[in-house]
Copies of this chain bind each other. A is one copy, B any other.
Amino acid sequence: MALTEADIQPQMTRRRPGQSALTTPRNEKDRVEIQSGTECGYTLGTPIAMIVRNEDQRPKDYGGSTMDLYPRPSHADYTYLEKYGVKASSGGGRSSARETIGRVAAGAIAEKYLKLAHNVEIVSFVSSVGNEHLFPPSAEHPSYSTNPEFLKMIETIDRETVDKFAPVRCPSTEASERMTKVIETFRDNQDSIGGTVMCVIRNVPIGLGEPAFDKLEAKLGHAMMSIPATKGFEIGSGFGGCEVPGSIHNDPFVAAPEVAENKAGAGIANKARLTTSSNNSGGIQGGISNGATIYFRTAFKPPATIGQAQTTTTYSLEEGVLEAKGRHDPCVVPRAVPIVEAMAALVVMDALMAQNAREASRSLLPPLPKGLPIKPETANGN
């Protein structure tokens, strides 16, 4: 596959700190360099190593007088010490959200493949900050999944549009302004606030995901809940969907519109024979993708490191007041957007390769006899 740094850098840049007055002033260029696995701009099939060098690092911010004495509340300092028996001296070390830079780099490669081979499009955006929502739950629509406006948006939203609403990355002028105000208020109070990120994946081939423990939504949930600061995950109708009657929640089948064949070639067919007229399932049924747009939402808590003084207790069990230094985001969701996209790409890529193994293996078998309850293509050996 053709691959150069130019395929990866854009997402690195979207993730990097110092993008606006709403994010940490820490300034990193986050230039990615490919170290191995490609030649002449093409992948060799062997492992791809990449490196991003830190430039604007100030360990003094962390190794100062107070932050060495206190485990930061709701941070990983205490649990890391308990788990490993010893702690790293500078900053959060490995528990820093800087860890996500590798996820974004890897995700960009998966994403390029998915785009080339299946025209898969992955787009995330901010769906809420504090209690300001893009699609607030209502009596009529306890979940956005029944809201026609939402369903329309997820079929067309793209990253360029999302980025026009920087720095918040919520694709609505009105909602974006509400959210900006919330973040500014918390920033000015040296406080922090949480939010949610919606992610949309279009053109996922049918049949991805495993039926029992590795359902596609379980793998997506795993991936999202592994991003630092996440507290929740929902797919399709989600928590709001619990309030929607089954008779409305069920997605009736309709014949799929004639679609042009995936022009890229053979492999897993993108074309469906059936599709659904609603999409409360979020594109996954029984753990397996059904060809409809996949969408899910991830909750991010308010960042733990805040400038406000906090009464807490030192490692030596003495109560005291911690005033955290360091340069931190008052709200992480705008920068979380490319991280969510990256993790989504990795999950879909894994599921695709697993299903490719099956499909390719099946394609070599003799056709099944007509009498069996099979899908039409299978009858002639594909």
Contacts and interface: CB of A to CB of B under 8 A. Distances in A.
A265 B196 contact: no
Interface in A90-110: 93-95, 99
B246 A191 contact: yes
Given A44-B88, A253-B313, A288-B83, A213 B239 contact: no
A196 B357 contact: no
Interface in A238-275: 238-239, 241-247, 249-255, 262, 264-268, 272-274
Interface in A33-69: 39-40, 42, 44-46, 68
A76 B167 CA distance: 40
Contacts of A40: 371-372
Contacts of A246: 186, 191-194, 301-304, 306
Interface string A222-241: 11111010111111111101
Nearest to A84: B45
A373 B87 contact: yes
Contacts of A29: none
Contact of A310 (B245, B250, B265): B250
Given A130-B243, A317-B255, A360-B267, A88 B226 contact: no
Nearest to A328: B246
A334 interface: no
Contact of A42 (B1, B86, B237, B315): B86
How many chain copies? 4
Interface residues of A, number: 151
Contacts of A254: 312-313, 319
Interface string A343-357: 000000000111111
A24 to B, nearest CB: 14
A207 B191 CA distance: 28
A294 to B, nearest CB: 12
A253 B287 contact: no
Residue among A218, A242, A266 with the highest chain B CB neighbour number at 10 A: A242
